[in-house]
Structure 1
Amino acid sequence: MNNLRVPDLVIIGLYLLAMIGVGIYFSRKNDNAEQYSRASGLIPGWAIGLSIYATFLSSNTFLGVPGKAFGSNWNAFVFSISMPFAAWIATNYFIPFYRSTGEISAYTHLEHRFGPWARTYAVTCFLLTQLARIGSIFYGIALTLQALTGFSMDMIMLITGICIIIYTVLGGIEAVIWTEVVQGIIKTVGALLIIGLIIYDMPGGVAKIIDIGQADGKFSLGGFNLNFTQSTFWVVFLYGFFINLSNFGVDQNYVQRYHTAASLPQAAKSLWLCVWLYVPASLLFLVIGSSLFAYYQVHPEFIQAVKLQVAAANLPPTATATQLASAAMRLSPADYGDKVMPHFIVTKIPVGFVGLIVSAILSAAMSTISSGMNASATVFTVDIYQRYFKSGMTSRQTLRLLHLATVCFGLLGMGTGIAMIGVKSVLDTWWELSGIFASGMLGLFLLGVISRQTRSHEALTATIIGICVIVWMTFSSRLPEEYASLRSLLHKSMIIVIGTLTIFLTGLLLTKLRKGTSAYSPAEPVNQPAH
């Protein structure tokens, strides 16, 4: 059933047309690959900062963070607390490094340092991470719009995906950045509107929300004990630090933006602007989740519809009403947390405001997807096609390939999103996949930058060992009961921590052992970049 009224549809339609219009406007300037990928390095720092902020503030944040707060507590906020620590390292070491090299790809340095295999491995990790990110965001937006429109989730992904592909292909990185500036503002306004409407309709207002939240432990950041088998404060802090270091330091989405700034100080300021905007914004979404929990505690009759919807999705169509009611009763808040905010939007937000909020959710999805598509296309073009297939491409040929690659990654992302239909928590799924794919990339990059004496074969050995550890931590929980002793006891958020440290420390150890067995070991010659 379509729950959107004509004013809401008009607002959403105008928003989508405006985004396509932006792409058409900037398409007039994209007559070469340099402009498409770097915007000729003329974007002001404040715009880049808002763009990075909008990329972080994806639908995973817009829907997943309130869902986590509804189902558990504010443990996810520890991820945001870790951001300034990772940003300090990035602005002092990574951004100056990338600006000094002038290379548009974040991974070209790895070939210079260790050879082609290192660059290819990092690119593979990055592209898998992007597909996971794009897919989880497509799934998040489809989750909301399905409740509003009644359309199938795959149809929603197809329609929104086509709009995103059009303006990304036409406008390039400049269109992505300037639309993200607008989208970042729309998202924040949408979140403030939601929390205002919850408080307005809540008997007892803010005081009642705080009372219920305190009684149910909704404001806890997680336990502070050194227990790495559960999602404690320290587990999420370590995960957040390493994943944010990966984002700020080796993720093409961010590295590409550093090159669009007019100067090094502007690039550094843009990252800090993102951090100081995102930390309070993420707290706002946690407040929304806790407020929704309190709201549905006061109105338990409303939550029953959500529970029945989730239960029905996990039962065969022939299930009886008694079976459906019994399955709904067994669900915990963590099982349906992601579905609560879409339900609130459908049932409680006035006509007109729904269109604004859906536009905000769309912008949350579109900004991250478009930047991911653009960065993935750039990496594929520079690090794969030009490296292994055709190096002497003209600017026009390169631009044509960037367009084609952008379309392909948009379609692959949609397919990934469709494959995710039915997952329990979009935020948990994204955190787990990003930790798996990003850990090897970060560990290898740190080894190459910090340990200047590590040789290619030592880095390769360390990477292989690291991959084995990552695979073991990812899949050991599925081992049969007779092999239970071989299962990893660590929380899955620790995969990126252990995987990164394994590659980095193993590389250091192998280097030290080699130096210790030889009185003299000449420095390994630096590999020359491919031409």
Structure 2
Amino acid sequence: MQTLDWIVLIGTLLLIVVYGTYQSRGSKNVQDYLKGGNTSKWWTIGLSVMATQASAITFLSTPGQAFNDGMGFVQFYFGLPIAMVVICMVFIPLYHRLKVYTAYEFLENRFDLKTRTLTAILFLIQRGLAAGITIFAPAIILSAVLGWNLLLLNVIIGVLVIIYTVSGGTKAVNVTQKHQMVVIFTGMLIAFFLIIDKLPEGITFSKALDIAGASGKMEVLDFSFDFNNRYTVWSGLIGGTFLMLSYFGTDQSQVQRYLSGKSLKEMQIGMMFNGLLKVPMQFFILLVGVMVFVFYQFNQAPANFNPTATEVVLNSEYADEYKDIQEKQLLNHTEKEKIINDFVSNNNVDAAKGIAVLNSINDELRANARSLIEKAGDAQNIKVESNDKDYVFIHFILNNLPRGLIGLLLAVILSAAMSSTSSELNALASTTTMDLYKRNTSEKSEAEMVKASRLFTLGWGIVAIGVACVANLAENLIQLVNIIGSIFYGNVLGIFLLAFFFKFVRANAVFTAALITQVLVIGLFLLNEYEIINLPFLWLNFVGCVIVIAIACLLQSLNSNSNYAEA
């Protein structure tokens, strides 16, 4: 990184922090601090909702996901527009009418305090872990690529977020997220056009799509019911809808974004704006990853994009084997480049098949490289991440973008981390304050409640930094966040659906069913992890929701005149 990159990076981040702190100063009551004074317009709500979901993981992992597996991941979001319609028709009018601060307040009105408390605790567990991961994700990758200290990066990101979130609460989050999304959209658009510009002369965007298609990267839709395929149209429409209903309808980090709306109409328009724009945005980010793939069809890619992993294996007894893989990869690349030129010049069908074959060989070489990295790490007793999906995009940025733009793209990644983490800390503090602290203590003044909210924000910020400092990588960071959510979201959504639509079910039945369901869902997840059953994590949202509703209805029916019946 050059001086100009540092100026752009530091200047962008400090401007966002200072602006957010200044604009949201002076929150003197709970409504101002936790609901932003109910002043947000629909575009603020829509952008804030998108910024909350679009963490740094989105902009690091999603292009790498497309680089490796193509456009199919977009199917994950197919349920989102459906969920937005349901939330606008059912969830938002109810929350607005009851004037709740958190989604879980409604559950006490419908059931009882213990059900509200249990649901709030489930949210705090999964969102507290997720907040740590949203800090850890960019920190681990920037640390590996730039050589920065990982623990220091975790602390810097966390402290920057804590400063303005503690200071201004919900309004600070909403104000900063608008500007963070502008930075994010600008950076990604610039990156996309630069990738196209860096392709060889004569390789237009349409020809780049042809090359990606010949390599199997443009297969967007999968209508199969094969559970071995994690992302299909059906898992997106069914599992994705239940996940999005849970996330946007019951997760306080999202609910709080639209509860700050100026009116019911502003809230609903903001959510529909998100529903219309989110899928195209994810499609575009995946397309950026596919274009990076095409770029590396004409430029030699490393055997592994994680520089730390490469360094470990080259300093081990496996160095010669790894260098042999690099040489084979270079020969493969040279041959593939000739075939690609034949394909784009003559639209040769046989050449298209040849591209696919050579890409398969390259995938096998990269898999062998990962295996050697793991062996080298084990031999040296070093924990090293061999799966390099999350490093693909940052590697491209650092090695191919001009000065100044590298700083901007790094600002995009860190802005996304800050925007998502600030929403999570804000929601964690709101839930702790309103659902646990206020509900279980004596009456407090407005000033005391605001002070408590600030302290809880600070406390959760410290917890998130702590989680980030001890976190470990999964196969892919964006999947890790969704896996954590899927373990809890289905159960929580089922509780809310019971509250909305199953009027005969009472509190004790729901509370017992929720406890049983959470144990069962965790069990199903572990069985899938150990390959005893085949149930992709996205389906846990649907399964958890169905199980809690079924058990609660069964318990209420069996015990209508016993302990589960309530006055």
The answer to whether the superposition gives a TM-score over 0.5 is: yes
1:330 matched residue in structure 2: 368
* Deviation of the 1:115 alpha carbon: 2.1
CA distance in 2, matches of 1:145, 1:522: 53
1:53 matched residue in structure 2: 50
- Find the partner of 2:479 among 412, 420, 428: 428
**SS class of match (1:424):** coil
Paired residue type of 1:60:
I
2:458 matched residue in structure 1: 407
1:110 matched residue in structure 2: 107
CA distance in 1, matches of 2:115, 2:428: 17
2:550 matched residue in structure 1: 505
Paired residue type of 1:497:
F
CA distance in 2, matches of 1:371, 1:32: 19
CA distance in 2, matches of 1:15, 1:23: 12
The answer to whether the 8 Å contact 2:6/2:407 transfers is yes
* Deviation of the 1:224 alpha carbon: 1.1
1:304 matched residue in structure 2: 303
Is 1:378 the equivalent of 2:430?
Answer: yes
The 3 A distance-change label for structure 1 pair 37 and 522 is closer
**SS class of match (2:388):** helix
2:239 matched residue in structure 1: 239
2:218 matched residue in structure 1: 219
* Deviation of the 1:374 alpha carbon: 0.6
The 3 A distance-change label for structure 1 pair 403 and 522 is closer
* Deviation of the 1:283 alpha carbon: 0.8
The answer to whether the 8 Å contact 1:105/1:382 transfers is yes
1:347 matched residue in structure 2: 399
CA distance in 2, matches of 1:384, 1:316: 53
Identical positions, percent: 29
- Find the partner of 1:164 among 161, 170, 176: 161
The 3 A distance-change label for structure 1 pair 120 and 312 is farther
The answer to whether the 8 Å contact 1:308/1:328 transfers is no
**SS class of match (1:492):** coil
CA distance in 2, matches of 1:181, 1:307: 32
The answer to whether the 8 Å contact 2:61/2:478 transfers is yes
The answer to whether the 8 Å contact 1:23/1:169 transfers is no
Paired residue type of 1:494:
W
CA distance in 1, matches of 2:450, 2:314: 49
2:229 matched residue in structure 1: 230
- Find the partner of 1:11 among 8, 11, 16: 8
The answer to whether the 8 Å contact 2:20/2:175 transfers is no
The 3 A distance-change label for structure 1 pair 316 and 153 is farther
Structural mapping, 1:350-499, within 5 Å:
350-388=402-440, 390-477=441-528, 487-499=532-544
CA distance in 2, matches of 1:365, 1:193: 19
2:175 matched residue in structure 1: 178
Is 1:154 the equivalent of 2:151?
Answer: yes
Q: How many residues align?
A: 510
CA distance in 1, matches of 2:167, 2:449: 14
* Deviation of the 1:147 alpha carbon: 5.0
Paired residue type of 2:320:
T
The answer to whether the 8 Å contact 1:19/1:167 transfers is no
2:383 matched residue in structure 1: none
The answer to whether the 8 Å contact 1:57/1:184 transfers is no
Paired residue type of 1:193:
I
CA distance in 1, matches of 2:404, 2:177: 23
* Deviation of the 1:278 alpha carbon: 1.7
The 3 A distance-change label for structure 1 pair 199 and 242 is same
CA distance in 2, matches of 1:478, 1:276: 34
The answer to whether the 8 Å contact 2:55/2:419 transfers is yes
The answer to whether the 8 Å contact 1:157/1:414 transfers is yes
Root mean square deviation of aligned Cα: 2.5
* Deviation of the 1:24 alpha carbon: 3.0
* Deviation of the 1:205 alpha carbon: 3.3
CA distance in 2, matches of 1:343, 1:406: 34
Cα deviation per residue 1:232-257 (whole Å; 9 max; x = unaligned)?
33123323211110122111122222
**SS class of match (1:330):** helix
The answer to whether the 8 Å contact 1:209/1:290 transfers is no
The answer to whether the 8 Å contact 1:221/1:233 transfers is no
Paired residue type of 1:461:
T
CA distance in 2, matches of 1:451, 1:430: 31
2:95 matched residue in structure 1: 98
CA distance in 2, matches of 1:294, 1:306: 16
The 3 A distance-change label for structure 1 pair 150 and 40 is same
CA distance in 1, matches of 2:282, 2:554: 39
The answer to whether the 8 Å contact 2:24/2:171 transfers is no
2:319 matched residue in structure 1: 321
The 3 A distance-change label for structure 1 pair 114 and 394 is same
Paired residue type of 2:390:
D
The 3 A distance-change label for structure 1 pair 289 and 143 is farther
The answer to whether the 8 Å contact 1:238/1:497 transfers is yes
The 3 A distance-change label for structure 1 pair 241 and 332 is farther
Cα deviation per residue 1:405-463 (whole Å; 9 max; x = unaligned)?
11121122122223334333101111111101222211111112211110222213322
1:528 matched residue in structure 2: none
1:263 matched residue in structure 2: 263
Cα deviation per residue 1:377-402 (whole Å; 9 max; x = unaligned)?
010011111222x2311111111111
2:377 matched residue in structure 1: none
CA distance in 1, matches of 2:29, 2:515: 39
Moved more, 214-223 or 77-86: 214-223
2:119 matched residue in structure 1: 122
* Deviation of the 1:162 alpha carbon: 0.8
Paired residue type of 2:460:
F
CA distance in 2, matches of 1:83, 1:312: 41
**SS class of match (2:305):** helix
The 3 A distance-change label for structure 1 pair 223 and 22 is same
The answer to whether the 8 Å contact 1:458/1:511 transfers is yes
TM-score by length of 2: 0.84
Cα deviation per residue 1:305-328 (whole Å; 9 max; x = unaligned)?
626644556x69654422554696
CA distance in 2, matches of 1:8, 1:350: 9
* Deviation of the 1:229 alpha carbon: 4.2
* Deviation of the 1:27 alpha carbon: 4.7
1:88 matched residue in structure 2: 85
TM-score by length of 1: 0.90
**SS class of match (2:237):** helix
* Deviation of the 1:469 alpha carbon: 1.9
* Deviation of the 1:357 alpha carbon: 1.3
* Uncovered stretches (5+) of structure 2, i.e. residues with no partner: 326-364, 372-385
The answer to whether the 8 Å contact 1:26/1:172 transfers is no
* Deviation of the 1:368 alpha carbon: 0.8
CA distance in 1, matches of 2:521, 2:48: 32
* Deviation of the 1:139 alpha carbon: 2.4
Cα deviation per residue 1:122-146 (whole Å; 9 max; x = unaligned)?
1122112212322222122214432
